Chains A and B, each alone.
Chain A
Amino acid sequence: MPILSALLWTPALGVLLLAAVSGHQTGLIRLISNLMALSAFLLACGILVGFDSADSRMQFSEFYPLNPKLGSAYALGVDGLSMPMLVLATLLSSIALLASFSITEAVKGYHICVLLLEFGMLGVFMAQDWALFYIFWEVTLIPLYFLIDRWGGKRRHAASLNFVLYTMGGSVFMLLSLLAISQYDLEHQGSLMASMGQAAQSMPEFEQVLVLLGFFLGFGVKMPIFPLHGWLPLAHVEAPSPISILLSGILLKMGAYGLLRSVVMLPVAAKVLQPVLVFLALFGMVYGGLLAWRQRDLKAMVAYSSLSHMGVVLLGIATLNHSGFSGAILQMLAHGLLAGTLFLLIGLLYERTHTRNLQDYSSLVNTMPRFAAFMTLTLLAAMGLPGSVGFIAELHTLIGGFQQWGGLMVFFSLSILISAAYAMRTIGMLFTGPVKPRMQSIADLKPIELLMSGVLVSSIVLLGLLPAPLIQLSAETVNRMLRVIAERLP
């Protein structure tokens, strides 16, 4: 049974079903979309169970030629890099839909958009063909534009426009790079990803660098990398909080995922650009951390901390060694869980108080002890406390970076220190201090909300305590990537 196709088309099926339902039947709409997201998650878990982590090749592959002349095909497959991303994407989509009960207007359109978004994201992580990849990449853009523009906050129009302009601008460069590679002889064997990887080797070095720069612009906007992050604070702050969960939890990972794939494709150019990458990564980490420290808006704080945390991923990719790569993959998963949880919790808090200003809060531990427990755990994990998945990821990246650059990693430590500063300050301002009359009658988390945050927080802690299976999951794939890189480097 083509299980990957089943997973990919489950959200699309949900969209079709929703199209037939009248917009007034909100209960039915929510039921269908939640069921579809849940079954997608269960399918992803099924794939995870069947996944053989000792095998580094693409697994569960599907291949149907679409355009034989060009060599493009409907090619799906998973390896140790996309497997954790698939589970993360389906889990967070399911949770985002559960958190969407606060959306009351135009429910049908909203759910259709979210399911379309999930369809696009799953496609990006499964596509083994650059043409297919690009299509899915663009597919995510459209529903997201509508989600921010229609259901967002006050400045939603500017935010959505800004987001689309940035991402479109980036993907134009990505398309240019793809076209540049396809100028060369594509030996039509295997998927377009494999054959283009081969073709890229016959390009002159200067051209390889240019092509990688194009990819870097395309994926760097999404990731985001330091100077290309202008859309991020606005979009994160203005998007409705379930969409913020998806945006920071999965969409940012698409950029990192693509970058990792393209670095493996063009290792010669990556070697040339390595100093630039490490500078941008370290600078972005410190920069994002310091700006997060200045934010009074909780969502803006998490948005800038995302910039800082994705810098860790970029650093891991830039190391081009084993610990660095596995650190990058782990950090992709860790940040997905952490940022998802933070946006979920902040969204739940915002629903109750309608303010995101940190200074308005005080002494919440009295009124919402359960919320306080989850939020504190997540913030501690976000600063990389041992026993959380963030620590495992940062440690791997730090080791990889140290092997490559040694003492330069002092900036890494500095950014961790800054992240501790804003995390602790947030905990202090939210939960301690004088009791304010406004914050006296806030309801604590309801069972369904407890369930959502409980799943996320317990996975953060569990994966932090028992990281071995997770590391094992992608170890072989990382080995294969490094073998390929070693072959292609002169």
Chain B
Amino acid sequence: MAAYWIVWVPLLPFLTGLLIGVLHFGQWLDGERHEKITARMSVWSMAVSTLLVLSYLIADLSGMQVDAQVYGSWLSNSRFSIDFSLQSSGFNLAVASVFALLLLIVMRFSVNYLHREAGFHRFFFMLNGFAAAMLLLVLSGNALFTFVGWEVAGVCSYGLIAYAYDRPVAAHNATRVFVTNRIGDGGFIVGIALALLWLDSADWHVINTSVTELDRGDATLLALCFSLAAFAKSAQIPFTPWLARAMEGPTPSSAIFYGGVMTHAGVFLVIQLQPLFTQTPVVMLLLALVGAITAIYSYWIGLSQTDIKSSQIFAASTQLGVMFLECGLGFWTLAFWHLCAHVVMRCYLLLTAPSILHVTHTQPIKPVPERWARCHSAFVVSLQRGWLEQALDWLVVKPVQRLSKDMCTIDQRIIDPLLGSPAPAIKAVASLAQREEQKMGANLHSDEDSFAQGSGLAGKLAQWSAALMSWFEYHFILRGLGKNSIQLGRQLGHAANRFEQLLLSPRYLVLFVIITLMVALGYAA
């Protein structure tokens, strides 16, 4: 089997998503009667994609496959070139197979789950985009294209958390999750830049093989950047709180994004960079430490959760912490198997969460041991989720807010009077009633003047010069050249008409005849 075809694995869901998006935008795919088309397209393309990746896996396991397939250069200059390549063997292919299978199952599950929902097509548009992004992320041979998948998955997650965008909580949570994830993205970008700077390449393969040539310090920095990205995506301390906020979306998307596939991207990244991390014991220690703390923290918080989605999600984050711990201690193969097993198990548990409730609702949850139950302060900490989010707010969000407030003051005091402020923001009529009131009140200015108004020095300057030019335009160009020329033409025409009429009136006609006769007679004589 040609390695070339593997590009269709991420491409198929991408094209399907694109098609659904375009058709939905054009209202060709809308409402309940077209649900079947969308569902069929998504499930079939995902199924083909899964079959493809599975056949690659079988070929790989039977020892037929060779490594990466390069499709061409995306960007190249004298120092480095960034190729678009996909890996069709080993670890990446195995993870891709698991992910593809789960994506297929969740897609099929969502067909029934979202039946008659308002955003059915939107959901599938996002889910297809997410599937393409995830598959690109795990298969890409180049850090840059992994990052493309990483980002697109983040955007899709934003769209799906805010699935019910008319609810302020959902929209707020989506923004919060997205912004938290961007911190990790910063680490990723710096990592790519450093790799390009020091190693002249962003290929995972090159990064892993040539890391031995780097200084210990440089390698540590590189590993730190990528581990920051991994921590944010996999919701490790201190980023853990975003995971709980992400539960706003519909259940299937929660299952696939936060229980299953997307949160494991961080662990995937760390395992992919195994040679880099083994070179840097400091970062390994950090991985183990953060993983262990997250595991303990999430377990502790999970003890006091009463609803099934939250307890599931903290259990997931515990497991992720354990995976990081395993990586940090050097048990890479164990971490890999743990990842695959946990992805499957967590997706199953989240998808069946309502059924679990249904089956177990007569049996209460097993209480915590007697000795812990008496420890009230621990309970409060658990309930408040360790004040982690508040601490982050206080450390990061509040100072930024204060800074922006100061900037805003400077803007209002100095910049706005000089340059003018955006008019709609300050003068917009807030409501219809206000508008009516404004209409009824005495308006001394002409409409034209009140329409084109600016504020601040620059705005006023623009307003006055526009008024001046408008006066010029009206008096000289529109009226002077245009209207007057027509009028002049009319007057000339009238004069000519009058002359013509005079010529045709009988008395002048007779006069002409007489003159002609006289002239003729004169000649004759």
Taking beta carbons and an 8 Å cutoff, which residues of A are in contact with B? 158, 161-162, 165-166, 227, 229-231, 233-234, 287, 290-291, 293-294, 296, 358-359, 370, 373, 418, 421, 424-425, 428-429, 432-436, 444, 447, 450, 454
The closest CB in chain A to the CB of B466 belongs to A290
CB distance from A374 to the nearest CB of B (A): 10
Taking beta carbons and an 8 Å cutoff, which residues of B are in contact with A? 25-28, 422-424, 428-432, 435, 447-448, 451-452, 462, 465-467, 469-470, 473, 477-478, 481-483, 485-486, 489
CB-based contact A290/B462 at 8 Å: yes
Residues of A within 8 A of B428 (CB): 433
Q: State in angstroms the CA–CA spacing of A15 and B282 once bound together.
A: 81
CB-based contact B424/A296 at 8 Å: no
Label chain A's interface by main secondary structure.
Answer: helix
CB-based contact B478/A370 at 8 Å: no
CB-based contact B482/A230 at 8 Å: yes
CB-based contact B448/A425 at 8 Å: no
CB-based contact B477/A161 at 8 Å: no
CB-based contact B435/A370 at 8 Å: no
CB-based contact B452/A293 at 8 Å: yes
Q: 7 new A-B pairs (CB below 8 Å) besides A230-B478, A233-B478, A290-B466?
A: A162-B482, A166-B481, A294-B452, A294-B467, A296-B447, A425-B423, A435-B432
CB-based contact A290/B465 at 8 Å: yes
Residues A165 and B27 in contact in the complex (CB < 8 Å), given A294-B451, A425-B423, A433-B429: no
Residues A370 and B27 in contact in the complex (CB < 8 Å), given A296-B447, A434-B432: yes
Residues of A within 8 A of B26 (CB): 370, 447, 450, 454
CB distance from A449 to the nearest CB of B (A): 10
The closest CB in chain B to the CB of A159 belongs to B482
Can you identify 15 A-B contacts, CB atoms within 8 angstroms?
A: A165-B489, A227-B477, A234-B482, A290-B462, A290-B470, A294-B448, A294-B451, A294-B467, A296-B451, A359-B451, A424-B422, A425-B424, A433-B428, A434-B429, A450-B26
Which 4 A-B pairs give the minimum distances between C-beta atoms? A290-B466, A294-B452, A230-B482, A230-B477
Q: State in angstroms the CA–CA spacing of A293 and B429 once bound together.
A: 20
Q: State in angstroms the CA–CA spacing of A433 and B478 once bound together.
A: 34
CB distance from A430 to the nearest CB of B (A): 12
CB-based contact A165/B486 at 8 Å: yes
Residues of A within 8 A of B27 (CB): 370, 444, 447, 450
CB-based contact B452/A161 at 8 Å: no
Residues of A within 8 A of B469 (CB): 287, 290-291
Q: State in angstroms the CA–CA spacing of A291 and B27 once bound together.
A: 38
Q: State in angstroms the CA–CA spacing of A7 and B364 once bound together.
A: 81
The closest CB in chain A to the CB of B429 belongs to A434
Q: State in angstroms the CA–CA spacing of A162 and B485 once bound together.
A: 9
Residues of B within 8 A of A358 (CB): 451
CB distance from A360 to the nearest CB of B (A): 12
The closest CB in chain A to the CB of B478 belongs to A230
The closest CB in chain A to the CB of B422 belongs to A424
Q: State in angstroms the CA–CA spacing of A292 and B160 once bound together.
A: 41
Q: State in angstroms the CA–CA spacing of A162 and B462 once bound together.
A: 30
Residues of B within 8 A of A229 (CB): 477
The closest CB in chain A to the CB of B423 belongs to A425
Residues of B within 8 A of A421 (CB): 462
Residues of A within 8 A of B452 (CB): 293-294
Q: Which of A165, A296, A418 contacts B448 (CB 8 A)?
A: A296
CB-based contact B485/A165 at 8 Å: yes
CB-based contact B486/A370 at 8 Å: no
Residues of B within 8 A of A450 (CB): 26-27
The closest CB in chain A to the CB of B448 belongs to A294
Q: Which of A230, A418, A436, A444 contacts B432 (CB 8 A)?
A: A436
CB-based contact A434/B466 at 8 Å: no
CB distance from A427 to the nearest CB of B (A): 10
Q: State in angstroms the CA–CA spacing of A450 and B477 once bound together.
A: 38
Residues of A within 8 A of B432 (CB): 434-436
The closest CB in chain B to the CB of A232 belongs to B477
Q: State in angstroms the CA–CA spacing of A371 and B501 once bound together.
A: 58
CB-based contact A370/B447 at 8 Å: no
Most buried by B among A158, A291, A444: A291
Q: Which of B465, B478, B485 contacts A234 (CB 8 A)?
A: B478
Q: State in angstroms the CA–CA spacing of A436 and B429 once bound together.
A: 12
Residues of B within 8 A of A370 (CB): 25-27
The closest CB in chain B to the CB of A287 belongs to B469
CB-based contact B448/A447 at 8 Å: no
Residues A434 and B430 in contact in the complex (CB < 8 Å), given A165-B485, A234-B478, A359-B451: yes
The closest CB in chain A to the CB of B430 belongs to A434
